[in-house]
């Protein structure tokens, strides 16, 4: 997994304007934001860009290190926020050891609790950067406040987990553009210079029209994919946040979190987003190797068939089962040849093209090359964001980040319901997994409640047809 020790504008046109004006229960908050543009306060050669880290897990720490790695820019971490003290302390200690001269976060700027994000962002000045790296359920809450504070943003993926929050984030992305804020989204495949080379060749017709795409993420137990009953000493709410891969409301489940990179870059290479999906999946293993029952909401395996507007199919297979073959790659097949997008991992280089339908080395006609200045997709995305801030270039990745998140959730919903689901259906769905997260406190009930045996609701394909649980 990427940081877990884990089209452009094509599809948006299929959704009518009414989608974005539809009352989602929180759009009033977004529309109330001032649309006064924020001036570029970090022009090239000017003062230090300050960072606030919201969510201090592995992804957040990785983002901070990448920000520190931007050449020619003065970047400093000045505030941190989390709901788990041990996570904040571990992140602070790790960052301080490796980058002491760039970490200026005294104890009074290390904030804990559900309102800690506000305190951390209040430590910044307009034009600084808020890093949003909590589980994605909280993305719209934190992004709303960042816009109010006039902050540029880097947010991790996924950025939404359901239809209502996607509609909300689309609107917030528009508000950020009105205020001239720069927003990066952690879908780093779009900043892979190898995939950029591939996308250009495919878009120029080198392998003809794409007729099939394939993606695979087959692995064992990753992150917090599987969870046993909640231990003593932690609330249901905190347990579900801590183990966010296990619960659909907090992290979108394993399907959304683990598979979004391949779904994103294959959509980019196709230059479109799927318009519908059907899928299958199942919970093969109900207990761990000691016989303790699993209580999470994930399937162990997923098989999804996406369909584009032109009829092209995109097959995605995902699995989290120990002892099975691991396989993590993406492929495309065209009328004049085929290609490997990622040969291993989220965006594993090199990319390559082949004559015919196979991918034998003897049939290879092109392979991507290392380009001057390429520092890898993680560093590239931060280089690009900071360059946009310092030189006041238009830069907002929210729209395609939401689209990628929503299309990923589309495949998950198809498997969880056992139905063919369209992009329009999930976008307009009224099932918000966790309403009211902007009012959440440590004493709030968890959005998902267990039964008497400590088990949480799981998807039941064919029984629940318009919602996932």
What is the structure's pLDDT at 262?
98
Please give the Cα distance from 303 to 218 (Å, whole number): 11
263 and 344, same structural domain?
A: yes
Please give the Cα distance from 140 to 273 (Å, whole number): 22
302 and 276, same structural domain?
A: yes
Decide if 449 is inside a domain. no
282 and 159, same structural domain?
A: no
What is the structure's pLDDT at 269?
98
CATH of the domain at 29: 3.40.50.720
75 and 95, same structural domain?
A: yes
329 and 357, same structural domain?
A: yes
343 and 321, same structural domain?
A: yes
Decide if 437 is inside a domain. no
What is the structure's pLDDT at 14?
39
205 and 81, same structural domain?
A: no
Residues 110-143, buried b or exposed e (16+ Cβ, 10 A)?
bbbebebbbbbbebbeebbbbbbbbbbbbbbbbb
Summarize the confidence of residues 406-435 as an average pLDDT.
Answer: 98
Summarize the confidence of residues 72-94 as an average pLDDT.
Answer: 97
Decide if 3 is inside a domain. no
What is the structure's pLDDT at 17?
32
Give the domain range for residue 249.
Answer: 193-373+407-427
Over residues 146-175, the pLDDT tens digits come to 999 999 999 999 999 999 999 999 999 999
The edge-to-edge listing of strands for the beta sheet with 75-82 is 110-112, 75-82, 49-54, 129-132, 152-155, 183-185
CA distances from 153 to 40, 120, 180, 397 (A): 14, 13, 12, 10
Decide if 25 is inside a domain. yes
> The tokens of 315 are what?
């097959």
What is the structure's pLDDT at 38?
58
198 and 185, same structural domain?
A: no
286 and 240, same structural domain?
A: yes
* Number of domains composing the chain: 2
Summarize the confidence of residues 238-248 as an average pLDDT.
Answer: 97
Asked, as a colleague might, if the bond just before 296 is cis with ω within 30 of 0, I would say no
Summarize the confidence of residues 101-113 as an average pLDDT.
Answer: 98
197 and 139, same structural domain?
A: no
Residues 382-395, buried b or exposed e (16+ Cβ, 10 A)?
bbbbbbbbbeeeeb
What is the structure's pLDDT at 454?
80
197 and 158, same structural domain?
A: no
| Least confident range of 25-34, 67-76, 234-243, 359-368 | 25-34
Please give the Cα distance from 365 to 80 (Å, whole number): 49
Over residues 200-225, the pLDDT tens digits come to 999 999 999 999 999 999 999 999 99
CATH of the domain at 217: 3.30.360.10
> The tokens of 34 are what?
């001032």
Decide if 164 is inside a domain. yes
Share of the chain above pLDDT 90, in %: 88
What is the structure's pLDDT at 37?
59
What is the structure's pLDDT at 52?
98
Decide if 314 is inside a domain. yes
Decide if 443 is inside a domain. no
Over residues 127-139, the pLDDT tens digits come to 999 999 999 999 9
98 and 213, same structural domain?
A: no
H-helix or E-strand spanning residue 49:
strand 49-54
Over residues 33-53, the pLDDT tens digits come to 444 555 566 755 458 999 999
Please give the Cα distance from 317 to 304 (Å, whole number): 6
Summarize the confidence of residues 352-369 as an average pLDDT.
Answer: 95
Decide if 438 is inside a domain. no
Over residues 310-343, the pLDDT tens digits come to 999 999 999 999 999 999 999 999 999 999 999 9
What is the structure's pLDDT at 22?
40
Is the pLDDT at 300 greater than 70? The verdict is yes
Q: What is the overall mean pLDDT for the chain?
A: 92
What is the structure's pLDDT at 5?
38
Write down the pTM of the prediction.
0.91
């Amino acid at each position: 997994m990427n940081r877990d020790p884990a089209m452009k504008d094509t599809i948006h046109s299929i959704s009518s304007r009414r989608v974005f004006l539809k009352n989602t229960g929180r759009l009033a908050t977004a529309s109330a934001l001032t649309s006064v543009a924020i001036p570029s306060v970090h022009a090239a050669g000017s003062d230090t860009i300050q960072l606030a880290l919201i969510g201090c897990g592995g992804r957040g720490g990785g983002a901070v290190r990448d920000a520190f790695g931007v050449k020619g820019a003065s970047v400093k971490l000045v505030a941190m926020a989390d709901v788990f003290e041990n996570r904040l302390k571990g992140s602070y200690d790790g960052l301080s050891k490796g980058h002491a001269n760039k970490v200026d976060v005294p104890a009074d700027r290390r904030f804990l609790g559900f309102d800690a994000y506000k305190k951390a962002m209040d430590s910044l000045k307009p034009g600084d950067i808020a890093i949003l790296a909590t589980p994605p359920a909280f993305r719209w809450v934190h992004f709303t406040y960042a816009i109010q504070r006039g902050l540029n943003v880097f947010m991790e993926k996924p950025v939404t987990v359901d239809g209502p929050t996607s509609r909300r984030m689309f609107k917030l992305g528009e508000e950020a553009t009105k205020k001239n804020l720069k927003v990066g989204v952690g879908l780093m495949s779009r900043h892979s210079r190898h995939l950029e080379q591939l996308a250009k060749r495919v878009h120029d017709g080198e392998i003809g029209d794409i007729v099939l795409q394939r993606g695979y993420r087959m692995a064992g137990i990753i992150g917090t994919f599987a969870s046993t009953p909640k231990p003593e000493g932690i609330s249901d709410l905190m347990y579900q946040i801590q183990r966010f891969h296990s619960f659909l409301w907090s992290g979108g489940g394993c399907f959304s979190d683990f598979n979004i990179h391949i779904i994103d870059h294959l959509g980019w290479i196709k230059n479109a987003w799927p318009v519908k999906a059907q899928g299958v999946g199942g919970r093969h293993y109900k207990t761990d190797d000691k016989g303790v029952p699993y209580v999470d909401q994930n399937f162990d395996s997923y098989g999804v068939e996406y369909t584009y507007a032109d009829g092209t199919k995109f097959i995605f297979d995902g699995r989290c089962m120990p002892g099975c073959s691991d396989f993590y790659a993406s492929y495309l097949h065209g009328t004049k040849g085929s290609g490997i997008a990622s040969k291993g991992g989220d965006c594993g280089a090199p990319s390559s093209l082949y004559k015919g339908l196979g991918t034998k080395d003897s049939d290879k006609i092109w392979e991507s090359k290392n380009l001057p200045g390429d520092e890898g997709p993680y560093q590239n995305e931060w280089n690009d964001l900071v360059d946009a801030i310092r030189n006041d270039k238009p830069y907002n990745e929210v729209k395609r980040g939401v689209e990628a998140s929503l299309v990923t959730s589309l495949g998950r919903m198809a498997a969880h319901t056992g139905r063919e689901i369209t992009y329009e259906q999930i976008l307009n769905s009224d099932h918000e997994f966790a309403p009211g997260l902007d009012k959440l406190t440590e004493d709030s009930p968890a959005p998902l409640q267990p039964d008497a045996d400590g088990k949480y609701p799981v998807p039941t394909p064919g029984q629940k047809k318009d919602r996932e649980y």
